[in-house]
Amino acid sequence: MAYNFSEIKKFTTWRRLWLWLAKAQQTLGLDISDEQIKEMETNIENIDFDMANQEEKKRRHDVMAHVYTFAHYCPKAAPIIHLGATSCYVGDNTDLIVMKDALNILLPKLARCIQRLSVFADEYKSLPTLGYTHYQPAQLTTVGKRACLWVSDLCMDLRNLCRVRDDLKFRGVKGTTGTQASFLALFEGNPEKVDVLDRLVTEMAGFKSAYLVTGQTYSRKVDFDVLAALASLGGSVHKLCTDIRLLANLKEVEEPFEKDQIGSSAMPYKRNPMRCERCCSLARHLMCLIQDPLHTLSVQWFERTLDDSANRRICLPEAFLTADILLNTLQNVSEGLVVYPKVIEKHIRQELPFMATENIIMAMVKAGGNRQECHEQIRVLSHQSGAKVKEGGENDLVERIRKSPFFSPVKHQLEKLLDPTTFTGKSSDQVTRFLEEEVKPSLKPFAHWLDEIAELQL
């Protein structure tokens, strides 16, 4: 990703765009020789950055600085470099190429995160765990079912990123205000040749189509659309990693922790969820970046104003670079999650008796009891047990029910009524169906990239 947003990638792409333009113009009959084309091809990567920097200091125009630098090393082609084009021909088209390439870098990484978490979900699809609403114990779910909530969000992000990639079009050859007037003049008023020129350059750049209407730039709403998808990904990762951080506090699930890793300089016993904390930190930055393209879009006057430029040079690379390391770190986390079933079981035992009260009441009614009387008996015993728990004791509601003569008709059923696996509903089936019907098809296009392991220098 760093290379994708590097100076060398940017300026070699500019030169390729000038080459593609010249080739298309030659094809359509302009007086451009094979020798000129060959000279440009030979010097695509021969960039004299010192000369370009000196030219930019003198001319205060980055595109013209590189036109002069390219022309210096291509003296025969100098008269036809940038012919009929405006700065946005190289600037905007390069941005679109770079964003498309960046999305193609991110998508396999996101697919790997989904695949790793899907394996985790399948492995633990039947392991009961406390569900939480309002961060208070609620009905049981399973460890795998909870992981599917994370996977479901990431699958939405995968679809979003695929959509924005596939929606990207090329700016093409549109001239200074998008009217193509300069190219119409080059081809002596022949509109068909202008259309073919636009199509040829678009195809050489690897795009299926170009925007039919632009100002001097492509609409900055495109940037917003792309960064909105990245910000949404940030939100998904933040939620997922926050859940893992909370589970680490409960000692139920932990991120990878190396043998010699130190959690705290002062407290040697600590096992801080450092990777997930880093993900949350990066995700917040990624989510905040959506403001830049939104404001830039809103203040582009008429066909274009240049106050978009400096802002875009910061926010677009930052968004993709942040998303890239975010997914690298998330993959590392998802490849090494550790589950502690005994701790989970202990927490279930503390809460399950309260959750089972309705089942116990139903069993009593089936045995001939009165529902309201059963409810009152359970209420009194539950409050007594709850008070003991709040004083630091264990939940002894089950023992209180066993000892109560009132509940003698169902004492032999208590073990079955308190089996955690009977409280998880269709969790296991939901996991199996979700992975089979939604996740596997979404990962199929990325099958060749799923085996790569995330190695981090943390």
Tokens of 119: 């394996």
Q: Which residues contact 88 (CB under 8 A, 6 or more apart)?
A: 171, 174, 216, 217, 304
Could you tell me the pLDDT band of residue 256, with boundaries at 50, 70 and 90?
Answer: confident
Q: Which of 110, 117, 11, 166 is nearest to 320 (CA)?
A: 110
Q: What is the DSSP string of 164-205?
A: HHHH--B--S--SSSS-HHHHHHTTT-HHHHHHHHHHHHHHT
Q: What is the pLDDT of residues 281-321, one digit of tens each?
A: 999 999 999 999 999 999 999 999 989 999 999 999 999 99
Could you tell me the pLDDT band of residue 265, with boundaries at 50, 70 and 90?
Answer: very low
Taken in order 130, 413, 422, 365, the sign of the CA dihedral is: negative
Tokens of 373: 């009387």
Q: How far apart are CA 139 and CA 132, in angstroms?
A: 7
Q: How far apart are CA 143 and CA 253, in angstroms?
A: 9
Query: What's the burial of 457, exposed, middle or buried (CB within 10 Å: 0-12/13-18/19+)?
Result: exposed
Q: What is the pLDDT of residues 43-65, one digit of tens each?
A: 999 999 999 999 999 999 999 99
- For residue 266, pLDDT beyond 50: no
Q: Are 73 and 97 in contact (CB under 8 A)?
A: no
Does the predicted model carry a pTM greater than 0.95?
Answer: no
Which residues are part of the catalytic machinery?
A: 134, 264
- List the end-to-end C-alpha distance of the chain, in Å, as a whole number: 18
Tokens of 170: 């090329």
Q: What is the pLDDT of residues 376-406, one digit of tens each?
A: 999 999 889 888 888 888 888 888 999 899 9
Buried b (16+ CB within 10 A) or exposed e, 381-395: bbeebeeebeeeeeb
Q: Are 116 and 203 in contact (CB under 8 A)?
A: no
Could you tell me the pLDDT band of residue 271, with boundaries at 50, 70 and 90?
Answer: confident
Proportion of the chain in helix, strand, coil states, percent, rounded to 5: 70, 5, 30
Number of Cβ within 10 Å of residue 128's Cβ equals: 24
Q: How far apart are CA 67 and CA 302, in angstroms?
A: 27
What is the chain's mean pLDDT, rounded?
93
pLDDT at 264: 46
> What percentage of the chain exceeds 90 in pLDDT?
83
Buried b (16+ CB within 10 A) or exposed e, 15-31: bbbbbbbbbbbbebebe
Per-residue CA distances from 81 to 51, 270, 421 (Å): 17, 62, 72
- Kindly state the average pLDDT of the residues 431-454: 92
- Kindly state the average pLDDT of the residues 316-329: 98
Q: Which of 18-22, 35-39, 262-266, 272-276 has the lowest mean pLDDT?
A: 262-266
Could you tell me the pLDDT band of residue 117, with boundaries at 50, 70 and 90?
Answer: very high
> What percentage of the chain exceeds 70 in pLDDT?
96
Could you tell me the pLDDT band of residue 359, with boundaries at 50, 70 and 90?
Answer: confident
Q: What is the pLDDT of residues 10-30, one digit of tens each?
A: 999 999 999 999 999 999 999
Tokens of 359: 């089942």
pLDDT at 456: 59
Q: Which of 254, 253, 271, 255 is nearest to 263 (CA)?
A: 271
- Reduced to 3 states (helix: H, G, I; strand: E, B; else coil), residue 43 is coil
pLDDT at 259: 52
- For residue 7, pLDDT beyond 80: yes
- For residue 137, pLDDT beyond 70: yes
pLDDT at 262: 45
pLDDT at 358: 82
